[in-house]
């Protein structure tokens, strides 16, 4: 498996500085060595590879190599920094790509599931469900690869349950409830998470409402492993 490193501008700049240090150090070393050889008239000496000859030559020119030595230390430090920077940059890039991939995969799974599930409900038009808006409402940070349920979604589900429970209570205790107010509140709240429940006559509305509630609960059972007891919608008792 090949790994592609994409250098940022800052890393490219550091690489240029690294190369410049190496070249300058090499130039200064060669130049100093040449000046030493000329000034000490070392070129006039006979060619000799015996140990005492080599030692004499090194003693005379050793100071010239300080440039390449110091430059090498500095270049090594920069090289180490560049290596770490490259690894970190590649890690962050791969992590970001993995998060995006996980998000896309999770959304595709979510969208495919709910569209297949909708085939069971004749009162819920496909176009009344915005899978993307619902998906983004459920999860707090899906683009970061985190699929915890958002606090706002918990609040929205609680509002829906309060609407249902309030109408249930009024119906059980008084035998009736405010239908128009109920359907407007419920439709508006569901719309916040991407689900459109059209208002209409009492009988047809309640049929669609019950299917929507069952549809949401089925979806929750598939995609919300923790906190299912919190997001489970109440069953209407009113008629």
pTM for this model (two decimals): 0.64
| pLDDT for the residue numbered 5 | 45
Asked whether residue 3 carries a pLDDT value surpassing 60, the answer given is no
The four Cα atoms 146, 147, 153, 158 give a dihedral, to 10 degrees, of -130
| pLDDT for the residue numbered 220 | 94
Task: Write out pLDDT tens, residues 43-97.
Answer: 677 777 777 677 777 777 777 777 777 777 777 777 777 777 777 777 776 767 7
Asked whether residue 225 carries a pLDDT value surpassing 60, the answer given is yes
3 or 189: whose pLDDT is higher?
A: 189
Lowest mean per-residue pLDDT among 83-92, 107-116, 130-139, 149-158? 83-92
Among the listed residues 200, 221, 236, the one whose alpha carbon sits nearest the alpha carbon of residue 123: 200
Q: Which token pair is 152?
A: 């706002």
Q: Which token pair is 192?
A: 């916040």
Contact 64, 42 (CB under 8 A): no
Q: Three-state secondary structure along the chain?
A: CCCCCCCCHHHHHHHHHHHHHHHHHHHHHHHHHHHHHHHCCHHHCCCCCCHHHHHHHHHHHHHHHHHHHHHHHHHHHHHHHHHHHHHHHHHHHHHHHHHHHHHHHHHHHHHHHHHHHHHHCCCCCHHHECHHHHHHHHEEEHHHCEEEECHHHHHHHHHHHHHHHHHHHHHHHHCCCCHHHHHHHHHHHHHCCCECCCCCCHHHHHHHHHHHHHHHHHHHHHHCCCCHHHHCCCCCCCC
Among the listed residues 64, 79, 80, 62, the one whose alpha carbon sits nearest the alpha carbon of residue 26: 64
| pLDDT for the residue numbered 1 | 40
Among the listed residues 201, 200, 206, the one whose alpha carbon sits nearest the alpha carbon of residue 171: 206
Contact 223, 138 (CB under 8 A): yes
How does residue 158 score in pLDDT terms, banded at 50, 70 and 90?
Answer: very high
Task: Write out pLDDT tens, residues 25-42.
Answer: 888 888 877 877 777 776
Q: How does the average pLDDT of the chain come out, rounded?
A: 83
| pLDDT for the residue numbered 112 | 94
| pLDDT for the residue numbered 127 | 94
15 or 164: whose pLDDT is higher?
A: 164
How does residue 11 score in pLDDT terms, banded at 50, 70 and 90?
Answer: low
Average pLDDT over residues 153-162: 95
Average pLDDT over residues 2-16: 59
| pLDDT for the residue numbered 4 | 44
Residues 6+ apart with CB under 8 A from 158: 230
How does residue 8 score in pLDDT terms, banded at 50, 70 and 90?
Answer: low
Q: Which token pair is 155?
A: 């609040």
Q: Three-state secondary structure along 177-191?
A: CCHHHHHHHHHHHHH
């Amino acid at each position: 498996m090949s790994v592609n490193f994409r250098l940022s501008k800052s890393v490219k700049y550091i690489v240029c500085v690294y190369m410049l240090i190496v070249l300058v150090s090499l130039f200064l070393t060669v130049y100093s060595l040449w000046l030493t050889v000329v000034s000490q008239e070392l070129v006039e000496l006979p060619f000799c590879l015996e140990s005492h000859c080599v030692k004499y030559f090194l003693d005379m020119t050793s100071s010239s190599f300080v440039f390449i030595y110091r430059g090498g230390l500095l270049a090594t430090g920069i090289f180490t920094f560049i290596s770490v920077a490259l690894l970190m940059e590649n890690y962050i890039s791969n992590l970001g790509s993995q998060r995006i991939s996980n998000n896309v995969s999770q959304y595709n799974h979510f969208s495919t599931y709910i569209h297949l599930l909708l085939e069971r409900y004749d009162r819920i038009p496909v176009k009344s469900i915005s899978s993307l808006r619902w998906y983004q409402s459920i999860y707090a940070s899906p683009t970061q690869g985190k699929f915890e349920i958002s606090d706002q979604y918990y609040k929205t589900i609680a509002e829906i349950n309060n609407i249902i429970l309030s109408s249930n209570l009024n119906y059980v205790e008084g035998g009736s409830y405010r239908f128009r107010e109920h359907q407007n509140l419920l439709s508006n709240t569901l719309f916040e998470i991407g689900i459109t429940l059209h208002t209409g006559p009492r009988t047809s509305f309640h049929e669609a409402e019950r299917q929507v509630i069952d549809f949401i609960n089925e979806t929750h059972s598939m995609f919300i492993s923790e906190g299912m007891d919190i997001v489970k919608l109440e069953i209407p008792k009113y008629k």
